[in-house]
Chain A
Amino acid sequence: MTRLVDIDVAAEVLARAQAGDARAQAEIYAAVAPATFTLIRRIVGERALAEDLFQEALMSLYQGLAHFRREAPLGAWVRQIAVSKCLMFLRSPWNRARLRLELADAADPSSAALLASLATPAPRAECLDIERALASLSPTARAVIWLFEVEGYSHEEIACAFGKTVSFSKSQVARAHKKLREWFEPRGAKETCSTI
C-alpha cells in the first residue's frame, strides 16, 4: 500500500493546478484520492463518514493549493489535512455522544453485524479479520495505531496532533497492540467472527 506521504506530483502539474487548470487538478485528485480515502477510512472506520471527511479534506486541499510551496511532497501536506479533519471529527462532542450510544449497544449480539458492516469486503479472510480487529478498537486507539504503525508518525508527532503527551501516545499504542493480539492469538471455543 502506497503511503500518502510518499505521493508527490510533478512540479509542472502542480503549477498548472495552482493556476486553475482543471485537468491538472484532476490529475492531482487521481494521484492522492485513493491513499487519502484509505487513511481516513482506516482512522474513522465507517465508510459513509470517511466519504464525508474525504470530501472535506480534498476541498481544503484545493482551497489552499495556491499557497502550497512544495517544501515537502504534496502527499505529506494532504496527509496533514486528512489527519487533522479526522481528529477534529473524533474530538467533536457530537461524535462523542454518538459513540456513547454505540458502546451502549456493544453488548448486543447484533452488534457483531455492525462490526462486520464497518469492514470493507476483502478478498482474503485474514484481511477481513484485521478489519474487524481494527473496528473493535476505540476510535482514538484506531487512529493512534494507524498513524504509528502505518503512517510512520512518531510518538511526539501523535502527541502533538492529539494535543496530548507522549505518554498518551505510548499507552494508546500499547493498549491497541494488546487488543489486536487478542484477536489473532489462537482461541479455543471463542468465535472470531459470527455469521451475518
Chain B
Amino acid sequence: MARRLRALPPETQPYGWAEFQRRGLERARIRCGARRMTGLRRAVELAAGLVLAVAAVALWGRLGVPTDAEVGGEAVLPRVGLVAAERPGRMRPGSPGYPRDPAGPEVQVSPVERWLASQPDDPPLVRVGAGAAVEGLEDRIAQLDDEISAGRALRARPARLFAIQQERAQLVSSLAQVRYAEDLAAAAR
C-alpha cells in the first residue's frame, strides 16, 4: 500500500511565483480592510454600550434620588450609580499586611494612614465614581511605594526620593479625603 501511495505522481505547483505574490498582496489587503471594519464596528459597539450605560446610570440616579419631603428638606447626595462588583481585598497603605520597604529604615506610619487602615473593607456595592477614584489613588500610592523601595535599593538621589515621598504624602491625604467624603455620604443615606 505504501508503495502504491508513493508511486502517485507529484502535483505541479498550481501557479508561479508572480501569481503567488499577487494573491498574497490581495489577501493582505482583504485582511487589512476586514481588520479596519472590525475595529470600526468594535468602536461603534463600545460607544453604543457607553451611551447605554450612562443612560442607565442617569435613570437609576433619578429613580434613587429621595425628594426633599422624604428627607425633611435637607440636601442629599444623589446616588451616582451602584455597581455590583467583586472587590478583592485591597491592601491599604498603613494596614498591617501592606508591604513595607525592607531596605530602608522603619518608617513611622502617619496618623492619616492609620486612619485609612482602620476603615472597613469596601462593601460589595460601591459607587462607581468614588470607587474608581479610591482604586486609582491606592494604585498610584502602591506604585510610588515600589519606586521608593527601588530608589533606596539602587541608592537614588535623595532629592528624587524626597520628591516621590512628597507626592505619596499628597496622594495619601487625597485618599483620606475621598474616604472621609464617602463615609459622610454613607452616613447621610
Interface residues of A (CB under 8 A from B): 1-2, 25-26, 29-30, 33-38, 41-42, 47, 50-51, 54-55, 58-59, 62, 120, 122-123, 126-127, 130-131, 134, 145-146, 149-150, 177, 180-181, 184
On chain B, the number of residues with a Cβ less than 8 Å from chain A's Cβ atoms is: 19
- Closest A residue to B14 by beta carbon equals A51
Min Cβ gap A181→B in Å is 7
4 smallest CB-CB distances across A and B, nearest first, come from: A33-B13, A149-B2, A38-B11, A26-B17
Residues of B within 8 A of A47 (CB): 14
Pick the contact of B27: A59, A120, A130, A134 (CB < 8 A).
Answer: A59
Contacts A26-B17, A59-B27 known; A150 to B10 CB distance under 8 Å? no
Asked whether A30 lies within 8 Å of B17 as measured between CB atoms, the reply is yes
Asked whether B9 lies within 8 Å of A122 as measured between CB atoms, the reply is yes
Asked whether B10 lies within 8 Å of A58 as measured between CB atoms, the reply is no
Interface contact tally, CB-CB below 8 A: 67
Residues of B within 8 A of A38 (CB): 10-11
Residues of A within 8 A of B11 (CB): 34, 37-38, 41, 120
Contacts A120-B11, A177-B1 known; A29 to B20 CB distance under 8 Å? yes
Contacts A1-B9, A41-B11 known; A149 to B1 CB distance under 8 Å? yes
Asked whether A130 lies within 8 Å of B5 as measured between CB atoms, the reply is yes
Asked whether A131 lies within 8 Å of B24 as measured between CB atoms, the reply is no
Min Cβ gap A25→B in Å is 8
Residues of B within 8 A of A123 (CB): 9
Min Cβ gap A183→B in Å is 10
